[in-house]
Amino acid sequence: MRATGQAQSLTGQLSEEERRVVAARAILGEWLGGSGGGWQDSGGVWPGMKLIQGVEAGAGDPELGISRGRLLPNHTIFTRDDVTPMTREQLQESLVLVHGGMAQDVGPILEMVTEKYLLRSEAEWAGRQEAMRLFDKITGLLRAGDIAAIGAATERNFRGPIQSIIPWASNLYTETLIERARAAFGEDFWGFWMLGGMAGGGMGFIFDPARKAEAQGWLQEMMRAAKRELESAVPFAMDPVVYDFAINERGTWAELLAGQQALMPAGYYTLTVPGLLRHEQRTLSAFRRAELDAFGAAARSQPALAGMVQTLFDRLLPQGDSQDGRQQTLSALLDANGFDRVQHEQIRADLRSGRIGLAQNRLPVRSAIEDVAPGDVVDITRLAEREAEELRALGMDALADGAVAVVSLAGGAGSRWTKGAGVVKALNPFARVGGKHRNFIEVHLAKSRRAGALTGTPIPHVITTSYLTHAPIADFLARTRNSGYPGPLLLSPGRAVGLRLIPMARDLRFAWEEMPQQLLDEQAQKVRESLHAALINWAQQAGEGSDYTDNLPAQCLHPVGHWYEVPNLLRNGVLARLLAERPTLRHLLVHNIDTLGADVDPLLL
């Protein structure tokens, strides 16, 4: 806004009106993007400590008559009388501000908050009322200067109201950090401070000032250790960071650099200078030549740009391409995971000839779709009591004889589950059960343990894996001693894998032009169409239907799906081992890892 003349001054603070314009654009942008946030993110535009409060729509507000509340909040800056300089100093000396490194889509969580508010759900409404009382209490404690009590109140808000409204606000990673901090620092750890819609990203830990420096180093190491333990199970975007926290008493502030100080950050030159140097100097504008002259002078004299020459040489003259090594690694991965080259070539031929494709992957228009008929399923709830008891007795006999094993399909990376983060879905600690976060494997093993206890015969449990999941699942089971499972527990490594192909242009057009699409506003639609055109052009230039190998080897492979898992039991010898140990084995209960209702029920058996 400053650079384009939308602010009165190029330097210094923004005016109050300009601050509200900045906040309005930030908040509206977040709402249009679907997250529904933006209040605290834009709070730093104002100086110092401030109270951000929602207000009812009034005269002059565009929301009047449409919404009870106004999208833009009010900002009340705490004066030095409201919160004394001593309290501010104590807060800075106690609060350790961190980013835990997790990356999560908080949009659905905020939508859940809105939904529960509109429905006036009882538990969530009570939590909202308690949160408002705690909010008032925390502002009172700030005025009183009681930092230890603030830590207790913020953690109480996290444990109570926030999790009443948002059960997924916490996670195993965050709970691990809090638990270990309390164990390490005892009464000197004053409380946890939630700083977002979901924990694991921006978080605060409040300590006795005498131990803050120690806590900063400890938290950095502990967050890294916890990330290493859980990075296969929960989505991380970066290594955890401990920030140097201080209250910004100026708010958004700009200074104009001139002369030799008028330089961009080092990263800017790393990105732009190599491209400029590849042009003839006479083709560059006077501005670009002056920029290069200033950069050259600074690189010779300023310590901040030390090493820049070497960095630029590395960018201009990169090391030899490791394509051959990458191809060898990819070939080794394909061979190790049972890649079927004959089938792959058949798929390629069918794709290029048009025998298969997105347009063919749908039912013909003449297909008849009918409701399930009563005779298609058996409703066991309608069985006569005597018949049900007889069937249950037969099932108990089968359990006692060892006639049943469970197969849990756990070869997927949960890309939909985590919105593209690509963790091992089977290890994701998705819910708190009995006061502890549990993953899918733990839940299914608990059910098999319970079913085996009915007759005293442990049930064999098989977990199928893929190249994406085998090592993390094996590590988890080794670390937890099979989660205490008393029966045979086997891993079934995948023996089939696919190699990605560059898509056909006709399939891309079908997906984007013939399938239903949400229409965006005019400019966003143009951006989307430009992206689609670029991807179609890439597919045509790279060779439609060719092997996709221009990436990391693991990104070139893909799991082939659940259809292959039962044949894998034959190919990898797991079924033979099961039959050798349990000659009476007759039935396999095969289910997806996230099918929590699947259970070995004697009556159904």
**More confidently predicted of 374 and 185:** 185
Confidence of residue 325 (pLDDT cuts 50, 70, 90): low
β-pairing, 489-492 vs 461-464, is parallel
**Cα–Cα distance, 100 to 204 (Å, whole number):** 10
Q: Is 446 helix (H, G, I), strand (E, B) or coil?
A: helix
Split at pLDDT 50, 70, 90, the class of 375 is: confident
Does pLDDT of 364 surpass 70? yes
Q: What is the mean pLDDT of residues 533-540?
A: 96
Tokens 């070539």, residue? 345
Q: What gap in Å lies between CA 438 and CA 472, rounded to an integer?
A: 16
- pTM exceeds 0.85 for this model: no
Those residues whose C-beta lies under 8 Å from the C-beta of residue 356, and which sit 6 or more positions away, are: 347, 350
d(CA 468, CA 529): 33
Percent of the chain exceeding pLDDT 70 equals 97
Beta strands (DSSP E) in 86-167 are 95-99
Least confident of 310-314, 398-402, 438-442: 310-314
Spatial distance between the Cα atoms of 276 and 284, rounded to a whole number of angstroms: 8
Between CA 175 and CA 435 the distance in angstroms is 11
pLDDT over 60 (residue 278): yes
pLDDT at residue number 538: 96
What was the pLDDT predicted at 323? 53
Burial of residue 532 (CB within 10 Å: 0-12, 13-18, 19+) is: middle
Identify any residues that bridge with 251 across adjacent strands, giving them in sequence order: none
The predicted structure's pLDDT at residue 420: 65
CB within 8 Å of 369: residues ≥ 6 apart: 363
Q: Tens of pLDDT along 235-254?
A: 898 999 999 999 999 999 99
pLDDT tens digits, one per residue of 45-96? 999 999 999 999 999 898 999 989 898 899 999 999 999 999 999 999 999 9
Q: What is the pLDDT of residue 459?
A: 97
**In the prediction, which pLDDT does 311 show?**
83
Query: Rounded to an integer, what is the distance from CA 114 to the centroid of its chain?
Result: 21
pLDDT-derived band at 318 (thresholds 50, 70, 90) equals low
DSSP tally for the chain: helices H, then strands E: 21, 16
Lowest mean pLDDT among 56-65, 108-117, 169-178, 360-369: 108-117
Interval 495-524: pLDDT, tens: 899 999 999 999 999 999 988 888 888 888
Distance CA 462, CA 490 (A): 5
pLDDT per residue as tens digits for the range 414-432 = 777 766 667 899 999 988 8
Of the pLDDT bands very low, low, confident and very high (cuts 50, 70, 90), residue 36 is low
- Nearest Cα neighbor of 252 from 15, 5, 24, 3 is 15
Would you say 204 and 94 are in contact if contact means Cβ atoms under 8 Å apart?
A: no
Six token digits for residue 593: 């890892």
Residues 131-182: tens digit of each pLDDT: 999 999 999 999 999 999 999 999 999 999 999 998 888 999 999 999 999 9
Q: Is residue 112 very low, low, confident or very high in pLDDT (cuts 50, 70, 90)?
A: confident
Which carries the bigger pLDDT value, residue 111 or residue 59?
59
Q: Which residues contact 418 (CB under 8 A, 6 or more apart)?
A: 104, 235, 425, 428
Which tokens hold the place of 424? 């091992």
Burial of 33 (0-12, 13-18, 19+ CB in 10 A): exposed
Residue 52: alpha-carbon gap to chain centroid: 28
Hey, what domains does the chain have and what are their CATH numbers? 1-73 (no CATH), 78-242 (3.30.70.890), 257-316 (no CATH), 381-498+557-592 (3.90.550.10)
pLDDT band at 546 (very low <50, low <70, confident <90, very high): very high
Q: Look up residue 502 and give its two tokens.
A: 């560059």
pLDDT at residue number 161? 94
Q: Pick from 325, 383, 334, 330: which is nearest to 603 by CA?
A: 383
Predicted pLDDT of residue 304: 78
Beta-bridged to residue 75, according to DSSP, are: 52
Burial class (CB in 10 A: 0-12, 13-18, 19+), 407: buried
Tell me: pLDDT of 216 over 70. Answer: yes
